């Protein structure tokens, strides 16, 4: 499905974008905040890859691998979202202080 390929590419590009910003910043809370955003992007990359795997191949092995990718992607994105919500006020406070 071409829509999943586009979503995979976009989430991969966002992951690389946030990782580059992570290495370029010096503020600690902003680094944690950007790391959480990159974790969300990587989780969505793995999730969409797992869904794409389910549509492309129809064997039992690919169904199991796709299901594992979907579960891992969702848990990674969820953990990244929780970290994002935690570090956002701290990053804002750090930016206001400097």
Q: What is the pTM of this model?
A: 0.91
Domain membership of residue 72 as a residue range: 2-97
Q: Residue 1 pLDDT more than 90?
A: no
SS3 category, 84: helix
The structural domain count of the chain equals 1
For range 5-21, the mean pLDDT:
96
- Residue 58 DSSP symbol: -
SS3 category, 57: coil
Give one DSSP letter per residue of 13-82, joined into a string: HHHHHHHHHHHH---HHHHHHHHHHHHHHHHHHHHHHHHHHHHH--SHHHHHHHHHHHHHHHHHHHHHHH
Query: pLDDT tens digit string along 26-82?
Result: 999 999 999 999 999 999 999 999 999 988 888 899 999 999 999 999 999 999 999
């Amino acid at each position: 499905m071409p829509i999943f390929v586009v979503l995979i590419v976009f989430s991969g590009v966002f992951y690389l974008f946030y990782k580059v910003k992570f290495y370029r910043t010096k503020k600690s809370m902003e680094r944690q905040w950007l790391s959480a955003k990159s974790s969300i992007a990587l989780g969505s990359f793995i999730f969409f890859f797992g869904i794409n795997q389910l549509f492309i191949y129809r064997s039992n092995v690919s169904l199991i691998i796709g299901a594992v990718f979907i579960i891992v992607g969702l848990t990674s994105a969820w953990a990244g979202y929780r970290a994002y919500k935690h570090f956002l006020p701290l990053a804002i406070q750090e930016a206001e202080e400097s």
